Amino acid sequence: MDTTLDQATDVVTGIRFPEGNRWHDGRLWYSDMHTGEVFSIDPSTETEPRLEASVTGQSSGLGWLPDGRLIVSAMESRAVVAVQEDGSTAVFADLSAVESSLINDLVVDAETGRTYLGAFGYDLYGGEELRPGPLYVIDTDGSVRLAADGLVFPNSANVLPGTRTLVVSETWGGRLTAFDIEPDGSLSGRRAWAPLPEGVTPDGSTVDDEGAVWVCSVDTGEFLRVLEGGEVTDRITAPGRCAIDCALGGPDRRTLYLATADSYDPAATERTRAGRISAIRVTVPGR
């Protein structure tokens, strides 16, 4: 499938920078990163999203702990917070003592309840020279330890269905990198999972039932379905847009939700609020 964002249907508009797209309990969840707010919506019955939580500073990745609590990556606070029943947040994992750069996206391993979370590794917004960044593992008690280092802007991650393989986007590295997940949550067997086409900068991603990864290229404005080894089977282009994140959902998991914005500069998105999440049908369902 080769198509464009023009063929998709808008689900939510007026967002500054939609991140952390997830399908959970029949709803699409997402962070508006530049406001620190987290929303959800049932696209089949609702036209307006529901505010679920707010965090101090930028919000990014979302996940659910084994006890059902929603967790949110609070980037500037360098903490993962858990949303309580009344909508308030409490710190679940504090990374401020071990990480000086902004933390980024996260994924919860459904089999163990452990969370994998990356950090920028350098001051992107301040214009600091690029440095590799770390990937942390957070145990179910909130304790944090280093899982891997030397990743070129670690971003989204997915556990491939039916495996103990974690695949991580390296945004400025232009590749997807795989690890084996050990029983204690540590990572081993680091290897290239898929090199990506020239210029592609992988940001958010999601995995389908065949183990292919849909990955977003923020700089080139496109969504690619990638197989292990790097073959691109499907491409959705979003000319003039930043392709930020995606999620497979809907009743049959065959709706691909596409998050885009006009810029990743917070000063620009404050003026324009041109971010949106759109929906398009695909052949292979999500897991």
CA distances to 60, 72, 96, 106 from 80, in Å: 10, 6, 10, 9
Cβ(103)–Cβ(97) below 8 Å: no
Q: Tell me the whole-structure pTM to 2 decimals.
A: 0.96
Bridge-based pairing of strands 222-226 and 213-217 is antiparallel
Which pLDDT score is estimated for 124? 83
pLDDT-based confidence at residue 57 (cuts at 50, 70, 90): confident
Mean pLDDT value across residues 20-39:
98
Residue 5, exposed/middle/buried by CB under 10 A (0-12, 13-18, 19+)?
A: buried
Distance separating alpha carbons of residues 10 and 227, to the nearest angstrom: 27
Which pLDDT score is estimated for 127? 83
pLDDT-based confidence at residue 125 (cuts at 50, 70, 90): confident
Half-sphere exposure at residue 84, Cβ-oriented, CA atoms within 13 angstroms: 6
Which pLDDT score is estimated for 140? 97
Q: pLDDT tens-digit profile of 110-121?
A: 999 999 999 999
Whether 123 shows a pLDDT value over 90: the answer reads no
CA distances to 187, 215, 235 from 225, in Å: 25, 6, 6
The gap between the terminal CA atoms of the chain, to the nearest Å, is 20
Whether 126 shows a pLDDT value over 90: the answer reads no
Kindly report the average pLDDT of the chain as a whole number: 96
Fold of 2-281: Neuraminidase (2.120.10)
Whether 199 shows a pLDDT value over 90: the answer reads yes
> DSSP H helical segments within 192-246, as ranges?
none
